[in-house]
């Protein structure tokens, strides 16, 4: 059994998470979501917000999200 000691990035805001910190959510299909703080956890799962619309995330898109039709 091998353990990965590499740093992960937050699934919501994109910040790096050091080993031993943060939260991991494993979904029924086997996908894993990593969160750096309870702020990111609540914004994604409880409040169902889009990270691209919040300025404090690294995934923020300046000028708005373009929707192709």
Give the pLDDT confidence of 4-59 residue by residue, as tens digits: 667 899 999 999 998 889 999 999 999 999 999 999 999 999 999 999 889 999 98
The structural architecture, per CATH, of the domain 8-53 is Roll (2.30)
Closest CA to 54 of 68, 46, 45, 64: 64
Q: Which residues of 49-69 are buried (b: 16+ CB within 10 A; e: fewer)?
A: eebeeeeebeeeeeeeeeeee
Alpha-carbon dihedral 7, 19, 10, 44, rounded to 10 degrees: 160
Taking only the tens place, the pLDDT of each residue in 24-37 is 999 999 999 999 99
pTM to 2 decimals?
0.77
Reported confidence tier of residue 2, pLDDT bands at 50, 70, 90:
low
Q: pLDDT value at position 12?
A: 94
- Residue ranges covered by each domain of the chain: 8-53
- Output the pLDDT for position 63: 77
With a CB cutoff of 8 Å and minimum separation 6, the contacts of 9 are: 15, 16, 17, 34
């Amino acid at each position: 059994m091998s353990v990965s000691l590499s740093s992960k990035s937050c699934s919501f805001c994109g910040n790096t998470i050091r080993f031993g910190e943060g939260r991991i959510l494993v979904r029924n299909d086997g996908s894993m979501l990593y969160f750096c703080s309870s702020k990111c956890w609540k914004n994604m799962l409880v409040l169902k917000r889009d990270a691209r619309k919040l300025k404090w995330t690294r995934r923020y898109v300046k000028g708005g999200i373009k929707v192709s039709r």
